[in-house]
């Protein structure tokens, strides 16, 4: 299951993404976690050494390598230069799985407590004023487009804060989106923005309330998000300790808060996967990117890279996926 964690900056989306990933891994599920936020804090929230993680490889600096690996022997993508972040897989493409070992994943992902972690990388001095952050998260979009995951496997992506996630088609790459929402007008405003942008694309959104203090906070969330409210987490001594550098076993999270994390996992699994929709939307956004700028840059019609009957979930290294 491909899962996005989104919300207003400071809402606790990174904390919730880390709790989800750590809980799923502790229960024995295969888990990938990717930090796709411009503010890179997921590594520390997962319990990795933040300085060591910052010195490791980052996806945004290896986009060319990712393209070259994923295109494989696909005759419709004869070079990495003709591959956009939206390029869908086709016959001959290299597909990925959550648990496999291959030169690309082994180089770019770090193993920690049963979680395979990678980060896009934040801005560096050379990027300031000349680079768009979406060029970095394009690496994540390519990986998601080529990743065959199962219903009991979890790919957890901590997305950029606010409504910036809709600046590309990556918001359609997820089986479920969890929006972390504080009981404030600004936070529910982000939810309403998401809902407006997503309604035409059949995006599954569940709201997780966070930093609630009392029933008034819960009532506020219910009033503004209605049935989308999956549950709510109260202010947490466990989380405060983790933010101070003491990351304890996830089972030590307050029982009521842990129950919300478990409910999120159950909601994601219950929703299932729709590979036909995933493929259809991948093709739609690749056509848009090709028309908007890709064709002019490449000098060819990149929409010709689309193989209409190639549905990702039906292929894995040439064999059906069950």
pLDDT of the residue at 55: 80
Which helix or strand (DSSP H or E) is residue 293 part of?
A: none
- Does the pLDDT at position 123 exceed 90? no
Instruction: Give start and end residues of each alpha helix (H) in the chain.
Output: 13-26, 42-45, 50-55, 63-71, 103-108, 134-145, 185-198, 215-225, 237-243, 255-271, 275-289, 295-298
User: Phi/psi of residue 111, each to 5°?
Assistant: -90, 130
- Model confidence band, residue 132 (pLDDT cutoffs 50, 70, 90): very low
Nearest to 229 by CA among 208, 210, 213: 208
- Model confidence band, residue 215 (pLDDT cutoffs 50, 70, 90): very high
- Model confidence band, residue 52 (pLDDT cutoffs 50, 70, 90): confident
**Rounded-to-10 torsion of CA 124, 129, 130, 135:** 60
Cα 160 to Cα 7, 40, 65, 282, 301: the distances in Å are 8, 10, 23, 20, 31
3-state secondary structure of 5: strand
* Tokens at 307, concatenated: 């193989």
**For 229-262, what is each residue's pLDDT tens digit?**
999 999 999 999 999 989 999 999 999 999 999 9
Q: What is the mean pLDDT of residues 22-29?
A: 98
Q: What is the mean pLDDT of residues 99-124?
A: 90
Give the predicted TM-score (pTM) of the model: 0.93
- Model confidence band, residue 163 (pLDDT cutoffs 50, 70, 90): confident
- Model confidence band, residue 33 (pLDDT cutoffs 50, 70, 90): very high
The arrangement of strands across the sheet holding 2-7 comes to 110-112, 115-119, 31-35, 154-158, 2-7, 176-181, 205-212, 229-234
- Does the pLDDT at position 322 exceed 70? no
Q: What is the mean pLDDT of residues 215-220?
A: 98
Q: What is the mean pLDDT of residues 307-317?
A: 82
3-state secondary structure 119-156: ECCCCCHHHCCCCCCHHHHHHHHHHHHCECCCCCCEEE
Q: Classify residue 71 by burial, with Cβ atoms within 10 Å: 0-12, 13-18, 19+.
A: buried
- Model confidence band, residue 316 (pLDDT cutoffs 50, 70, 90): low
- Does the pLDDT at position 56 exceed 90? no
3-state secondary structure 19-40: HHHHHHHHCCCCEEEEECCCCC
pLDDT of the residue at 317: 41
pLDDT of the residue at 28: 97
- Model confidence band, residue 49 (pLDDT cutoffs 50, 70, 90): confident
Segment among 124-138, 178-192, 300-314 with least mean pLDDT: 124-138
Complete domains list, the chain, with CATH: 2-316 (3.40.50.300)
- Does the pLDDT at position 86 exceed 90? yes
């Amino acid at each position: 299951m491909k899962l996005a964690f989104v919300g207003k900056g400071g809402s606790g989306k990174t904390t919730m993404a880390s709790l989800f990933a750590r809980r799923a891994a502790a229960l024995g599920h295969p888990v990938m976690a990717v930090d796709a936020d411009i503010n890179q804090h997921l590594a520390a929230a997962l319990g990795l050494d933040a300085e060591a993680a910052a010195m490791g490889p980052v996806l945004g600096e290896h986009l060319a390598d990712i393209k070259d690996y994923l295109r494989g022997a696909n005759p419709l993508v004869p070079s990495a230069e003709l591959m956009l972040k939206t390029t869908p897989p086709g016959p001959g493409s290299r597909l990925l799985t959550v648990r496999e070992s291959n030169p690309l994943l082994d180089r770019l992902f770090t193993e920690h407590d049963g979680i395979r972690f990678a980060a896009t990388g934040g801005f560096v001095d050379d990027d300031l004023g000349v680079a768009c952050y979406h060029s970095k998260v394009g690496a994540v979009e390519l990986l998601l487009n080529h990743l065959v995951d199962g219903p009991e496997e979890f790919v957890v992506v901590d997305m950029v804060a606010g409504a910036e996630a809709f600046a590309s088609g990556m918001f359609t790459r997820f089986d479920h989106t969890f929006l972390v929402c504080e009981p404030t007008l600004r936070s529910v405003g982000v939810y309403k923005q998401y809902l407006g942008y997503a309604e035409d694309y059949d995006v599954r959104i569940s709201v997780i309330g966070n930093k609630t203090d009392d029933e008034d906070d819960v009532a506020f969330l219910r009033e503004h998000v209605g049935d989308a409210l999956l549950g709510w987490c109260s202010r947490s001594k466990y989380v405060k300790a983790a933010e101070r550098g003491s990351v304890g076993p996830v089972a030590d999270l307050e029982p009521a808060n842990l129950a919300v994390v478990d409910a999120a996992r159950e909601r994601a699994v219950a929703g299932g996967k729709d590979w036909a929709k995933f493929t259809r939307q991948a093709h739609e956004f690749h056509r848009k990117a090709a028309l908007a700028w890709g064709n002019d840059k490449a000098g060819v019609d990149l929409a010709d890279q689309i193989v209409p009957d190639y549905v990702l979930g039906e292929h894995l290294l040439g064999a059906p996926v069950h």
